[in-house]
Structure 1
Amino acid sequence: MRRIFQIFSALLLIAVSCIANAQELTASVDRNELAINETFTLTLRYSGSQSGGQPDFDLLEQDFEVLSRQQSNQYRVFNGQAESFVEWTVVLAPLKEGKLFVPSLHLHGQVSDAIPITVNPAGESPSGNNRQAFLEVELDKDKLYVQEQLLVKVRLYTTVGLHDIATDPLQIPGAHVEKVDEQRYERRIQGVGHAVYELTYAVFPESSGELQIPALNYVAVTGRRDPFSLFNRNAQRIRLRSEAKTVKVDPKPGSYSGSHWLPAASLGLVQSWSKDPEEFKVGEPITRIITLRAEGLRAAQLPPLSTPDIDGLKMYPDQAQKEDQPGPNGITGTRTETTAIVATKPGQYQLPAITITWWDSKTGQQRATQLPAFRFNVSGAAISDSNATSNPNLPGTTIQPATEKAVPGFWQKVAIAAIASHFLWVVYFFHLRRKTTPPRKSKQTPRESTNSEQLKGLIAAGTPQEIHTGVLDWVNHRWKGLGAVNLNSAAQKLSIPELTQITELLHDAIYKAPPKPLNRQQLQILIDRLSRLSNRRAGIKESDLPGLFESKSV
C-alpha cells in the first residue's frame, strides 16, 4: 500500500510540473513587412491554469491603430494529449513608417516576446499588387496657377464586399476644397474585376508655392453584413491609406493684363430682356439680365459688371445672384446681374459693350469674352428728371404736380392729436379682445393657393429668370425645412423627376447660348404634377458613403 502511494505522488508531481511548464504567453504576426496603408494581424495565445483577465492592449496604441480585436477559448486533443488555451486576434494598422516593434504584453505573470515590424511607404510593399482593397489618388494636372481649379479624384478599389465605410473629408490648408461628384462603376485590372467608388474634389489654392494633398484614411469592414447574426466572425475591419501628393502652384503670369484674375476652362456672357427691347417707351421700366458663366471658377471669384451712366436712362441694378453648379468637371460658377432701365426721354440709345478678360487654363493663354454693344430706340414724350419714377418695378410712371407743403394751425394740431389718441384706444381695445379670444384652426391653406396662382401667372408671362426664382420660392414653401438656395440643390435633395425636368427647362432658357425657347405649357404641366405630389414625403439623397461593395469575392 505504501508502494502504491509513492507511485501516485510521483505521478502527481510530474503532472503539476508539466502544467507549470505548459503555462506560457506567445505572440505572432502574419507578416513582418508591410506598407503604411496596409494592416497586419497579431495573434496572442495564453495557455495556463489561471482563467480570466486579458493583456493590456493599450500598449499597442503607441505605434499602431487597433482596428479590431477578437477573443476565443479553445480546447482540443492532439495525439492523445488535451490542450486548452485562450487566443486573441488583433488587426493593427501602423501609424508611421520605419522600424517599429509590437511591444511585449503581460498576463498572469507571463510575458510575450516583442516582434519587429518594418513599415514601408505606400505602394512599396511586396504584396501591394495582390491587395483586395486599395486607394488611388489622381490629379488632373501636376502644375497650376493660383486660384485655378485642381481636380482630385480618390478611387477606392475592392474585390471583396465592403460596408460601414468611413473617411474624413479632404482638407487642405491654404486652399478651398469642395466635393463635386461621386460615381460607382466597375474596372478590370489584370483580368480581375474591381468595384470602384470614386470621389471628385475641386481644390482652389489661395497662394503660390507647393500645395500638399494629404494622405486620406478609409476604414471599412470586409465580408457580407448578416442582419440575422449578432456576431459575424468572417468580417474584418481594415484601414486603407492613400499616397500623399504635391502640386506646384505658380503665381499669376506677369503678362496678364486683365483687371481681375480669372483662370477658367471657359467663360461666357449671355444677355436677355424681360420684354422685347423694340417696345421701349418713356417712363416704362424694362429689365436687362446679364449672366456671366465660368467653368472652373466659383461664383465668388466672378467680378461685378459695371453699370453705365447714360444721359436719358435711369439704371436700377438689383443684387447679383451667385450660384455654383458642381459636376464631374468641377465647379461652374454663375453670376447673374439684373438691372431695371427707365428712359426719361425719347431717342436712340446704345448700351456699351462689356468685355471680360480671363486666362484660358486649357491653352495657357489670355483671352477676352465680349458682349456686343446694344442699340435701341425709345418712343414717347420726355419727362423731367425730378418727376422720373423712383421705383422701376412699378407698371408705369406717374407725373405728380408740384405742391407747396401746408403747415397746420394750432386747432388743427389739437384735432389731429385727439383723433390719434382715439385711434390708439381702438387699437388697444381690439388687441385685448384678440388676446382673450382663442385662435381658430384653419382647415385651408390660402397662402399655398395664392402662391400657386401667382406661380401660374408668372409661368404665363414672366421671364425665365423670374420663373426660376418663383419656382424656387414655391418649392421651399411646399417642403418646409428644405432650405435650397437654387433649383439644382433642390433637385438633388428631392427625388422627384418633375423637378429635375423643370430645372433643365429653365437652365436651357437662361444659360444656353443662344437661349432655348421656354416651353411654358410643358412647364405648367410639370408644376401641376409637382403640386399633386406635395402631400407626399420626398426622399432626400444622402452623401454618406454607402455599403455599396457588398458583393461576392472574385
Structure 2
Amino acid sequence: MVKRLFFPLAVFLVLTLQAMASHAEELRVEPDRTQLYEGEVVTLTVKGTMKLDINLSNLFDFNLSDLPNPDIEKVEPDFRILSRNQRYSIRTVNNDMVGEITWTYQLAPESTGKLTIPALTFRDATSEPVTIEVIDGTPPQQDPASARDSFIELAADKAEVYVQEQLTLTVRLFFSGNLIRGDLSEPEHPNAIIEPLGKQTEYSRYRDGIRYRVVERRYALFPQQPGTLTLPAIKFEGQARDTEGKLIFLRDSEQLYDVPVKDIPASFTGDTWLPASDLTLSESGLPPTMKVDTGENLTRELSLEAKGLPSEALPPIPDEVPEGLRSYPDQPERSTIKTQEGLTSTLSQTSALVPVKPGKMTLPEIRIPWWDTDTDSQQYAVLNAKILEVGGAAPAAAKPVAPAPESPEPTTSERQEPAPRTPQDSGEPVWQLLALAFGGLWLVTLVAWWAAHKRSSGEATTPVTKAGNQESQVFDELVDAIRTGSASSPALMLRWMNLAFPGHNFRTASEAISHTASPELQAAFADLQSHLFAAEGRIEGWDGKKLAVLLQHLRSGKSKGKARKETALPPLYPKNLTA
C-alpha cells in the first residue's frame, strides 16, 4: 500500500520541479557566427526569461519596457555596438505569467584576432562567454569591391612631399542600397594642417557590373614635420536597405600608405620656405610714364600669389623705397581660394608713396626665392627695378610776395630806365645809393617774413594735433597686433616709427628698431619676426607682452623729450631770417 502511494507522489514532485525550473530566470547568448572577416558585422541575440507578477491591481500599470536589460556594455572596447533592438512575449506556464525577452545587437569588431564576448548578467541569470574570431582581410575567392556592400578608396596625388608642401587626398565611399544613415570620418593628424577642399560630390559608378553610389571628398594636407606621415584609417559606419527592403549594416575602413616627408633642401637660399607649384609677383598703381611731380600721391599695390600654399605661409613682400620717396603702407590683406586641385592664396600689400624731392629715383628689384615642387628646384619671383622721374613742384606752389605800398622801393619801370646822368654828374656819393637800396630790400624781406610767420603760427595747431591723433591711433593698432602675433605687426611698426620720429624716413621695420639702440627692443622684435616668418614654419606659442611694454617705454620717453623741447624758449633770432 505504501509503495502504491509513493510512486504517484514521486511523479508529482518531478513534474513540479520541472515547472519550477521552467519558471526560473535564464539568459542565453547566440551569435549568428563565430568567425568573420575584418569589416563585417556580427549579430548577437540575447534571450532571457523571467516570472512576471501580474494581477488585477497592477495590470494596467505594467509596462514591458520597464524590464531591465543585460549589461551588454561589457563587450566594449573589443566591439562597437552599432544598434540594439528588443522584443517581448508573455506566455502562461502552470497558471504563472512568464515573460520572454529577446535583445538583438549589431556588433562591429574593433580589431582582428580572437575576441571574447564576456558573460552577461540579467537579474539573477548569467550567460556563458562566447569567443569570436575576426580574420584580417577579405573573404577568399571574392573580389573586395563586388563582394561588399560598402568599401572605401583613398588616393593621394604624390608619393612623397616636402615639409609644408601640399598633398591632395581623395576619399571615395562606395555603397549599395538605399542609405538611411552613415558616418564617414575625416582625416586627422597632430603634425599636419588639413583643409577640406569644397563640398563633397555624389555620383554613381559601376564596379564589376555592380552599380554603386559614390561620395567623394577632397582634402589638402600640409605636413609640418619631416619624417613619415601616417594617417589614421578612414572609417565608415551606416545603415541601408537592400533591393528587398531588408535593413543591412555597412561598415568599412581604409588607410592611406605612409607618405615620406622630406626636410627643407640645403640648396634653398631663401629666408622663408615656400614649396609651391607656382608663385608669381605683380604690381599695379604706378603711372605708365613713371613721371610724377613732387608732393603727388601715388598708390602702389604689390601682390604675391601662390598655388599650393595657405595664405598664412606667405611672407611680407619687401617694399623698400629710395631716399626722397616716403612710403605709408596699409595693413596687408590675405585671401585663399579652395578648388578641387588645392589652395590658391594671395597676399596684397598697398602703400601710399609721396615724392618729397625732384630727381630720378629707383624702386629696387624685388626677388623672392621659392621651391618649385613640380621641377624640384629653386625658382625666383621677380619684379624688375623701376626708375621714377620726379619733377619740381607746380609753379602755383611758389607765389612772389607783393611789396607793401608804404615801401620806399622804386617801381620796376623806374629801375629799368637808364640813368640820365652818371654818379659823378649828380654829385651824390655811390655808397649812399647802395645803402638806401639794401636797406629797402631788407625792410621788404622783414615785412614779408613777419606776415608769413604770423600765418604759419596761426595754422600750425591743426596739423600738429592731427599728426598726434594719427600717431596715437597707429600705436594702439600696433600694440593690439603685437599682442595677438598678427602678421601686420612689422608694417604697423614701420608706420608708427615714421610718425613718432619724423624726418628719419625709415624704410623697413628692422631699420626703425635699430634706430632705437635698445638691445632689449631689438631682441624682442627679432622674436616677433621668428614667430611670424620662421623657415621651419613651426607653430609655437607667442607672448607679445614684453615687446608691447618696451614700445610703451620708448613712446613715454619720447613724449617727455618732446614736452621739454616744446616748453623751451624760442630763439631770439629766427634761423630763416638773414640780413
Match of 2:238 among 220, 229, 238: 220
Q: TM-score, normalised by structure 2?
A: 0.57
Match of 2:160 among 143, 156, 166: 143
Cα distance in 1 for partners of 2:457, 2:72 equals 92
Cα distance in 2 for partners of 1:148, 1:238 equals 35
State the partner residue of 2:201.
183
Match of 2:106 among 88, 91, 100: 91
Shift of 1:38: 3.7
State the partner residue of 1:172.
189
Q: Is contact 2:27–2:126 with CA below 8 Å preserved after alignment? A: yes
Could you give the per-residue CA deviations for residues 39-59 of structure 1, whole angstroms, max 9, x where no partner exists? 321122235656943321121
Matches for 1:1-400 after TM superposition, within 5 Å: 14=15, 17=18, 20=21, 25-46=27-48, 52-73=67-88, 85-107=100-122, 109-121=124-136, 123-124=137-138, 126=140, 128-129=144-145, 130-167=147-184, 169-181=186-198, 182-223=200-241, 235=247, 238-243=250-255, 245-273=257-285, 276=288, 278=290, 280-381=292-393
SS in 2 for 1:20: helix
One-letter amino acid of the structure 1 residue matched with residue 107 of structure 2: L
Cα distance in 2 for partners of 1:256, 1:234 equals 61
One-letter amino acid of the structure 2 residue matched with residue 117 of structure 1: I
Cα distance in 1 for partners of 2:180, 2:68 equals 32
In the alignment of these two chains, the number of paired residues is 374
Task: Rate the CA distance shift 1:257–1:241 in 2: closer, same or farther, 3 A.
Answer: same
Q: Is contact 2:38–2:138 with CA below 8 Å preserved after alignment? A: no
What's the RMSD between the two structures over aligned residues?
A: 3.7
SS in 2 for 1:213: coil
Task: Rate the CA distance shift 1:171–1:62 in 2: closer, same or farther, 3 A.
Answer: closer
Task: Rate the CA distance shift 1:106–1:188 in 2: closer, same or farther, 3 A.
Answer: same
Shift of 1:260: 2.1
Task: Rate the CA distance shift 1:334–1:237 in 2: closer, same or farther, 3 A.
Answer: same
SS in 2 for 1:58: helix
Q: Is contact 1:19–1:49 with CA below 8 Å preserved after alignment? A: no
Could you give the per-residue CA deviations for residues 86-106 of structure 1, whole angstroms, max 9, x where no partner exists? 321101122333321112223
Shift of 1:9: 9.8
One-letter amino acid of the structure 2 residue matched with residue 170 of structure 1: P
One-letter amino acid of the structure 2 residue matched with residue 326 of structure 1: K
Could you give the per-residue CA deviations for residues 219-249 of structure 1, whole angstroms, max 9, x where no partner exists? 433249xxxxxxxx96566554332542211
Q: Is contact 1:37–1:242 with CA below 8 Å preserved after alignment? A: no
One-letter amino acid of the structure 2 residue matched with residue 341 of structure 1: L
Shift of 1:11: 8.0
Q: Is contact 2:171–2:218 with CA below 8 Å preserved after alignment? A: yes
Task: Rate the CA distance shift 1:206–1:29 in 2: closer, same or farther, 3 A.
Answer: same
Task: Rate the CA distance shift 1:282–1:249 in 2: closer, same or farther, 3 A.
Answer: same
One-letter amino acid of the structure 2 residue matched with residue 17 of structure 1: Q
Cα distance in 2 for partners of 1:304, 1:136 equals 40
Structure 2 unaligned regions, length at least 5: 54-66, 92-97, 396-451, 459-579
One-letter amino acid of the structure 1 residue matched with residue 171 of structure 2: V
One-letter amino acid of the structure 2 residue matched with residue 242 of structure 1: E
Cα distance in 2 for partners of 1:351, 1:34 equals 73
SS in 1 for 2:319: coil
Shift of 1:203: 1.4
Could you give the per-residue CA deviations for residues 244-270 of structure 1, whole angstroms, max 9, x where no partner exists? 542211111122223321111111122
Task: Rate the CA distance shift 1:15–1:210 in 2: closer, same or farther, 3 A.
Answer: same
Shift of 1:214: 1.1
One-letter amino acid of the structure 2 residue matched with residue 46 of structure 1: G
Q: Is contact 2:155–2:256 with CA below 8 Å preserved after alignment? A: no
Q: Is contact 1:67–1:238 with CA below 8 Å preserved after alignment? A: no
Cα distance in 1 for partners of 2:135, 2:453 equals 88
SS in 2 for 1:59: helix
Cα distance in 2 for partners of 1:167, 1:106 equals 34
Cα distance in 2 for partners of 1:19, 1:243 equals 56
Cα distance in 1 for partners of 2:116, 2:209 equals 37
SS in 2 for 1:300: helix
One-letter amino acid of the structure 2 residue matched with residue 28 of structure 1: E
Could you give the per-residue CA deviations for residues 10-44 of structure 1, whole angstroms, max 9, x where no partner exists? 58954862783697533222333445544321122
Cα distance in 1 for partners of 2:360, 2:383 equals 19
More deviation, 41-50/151-160: 41-50
Structure 1 unaligned regions, length at least 5: 77-82, 225-232, 384-400, 408-554
Q: Percent identity?
A: 33
Task: Rate the CA distance shift 1:44–1:16 in 2: closer, same or farther, 3 A.
Answer: same
Cα distance in 2 for partners of 1:141, 1:19 equals 71
Matches for 1:498-509 after TM superposition, within 5 Å: none
Shift of 1:322: 1.0
| Structure with the larger RCO, 1 or 2 (CA within 8 Å, 6+ apart) | 1
State the partner residue of 1:442.
none
Shift of 1:194: 1.5
Cα distance in 2 for partners of 1:190, 1:22 equals 55
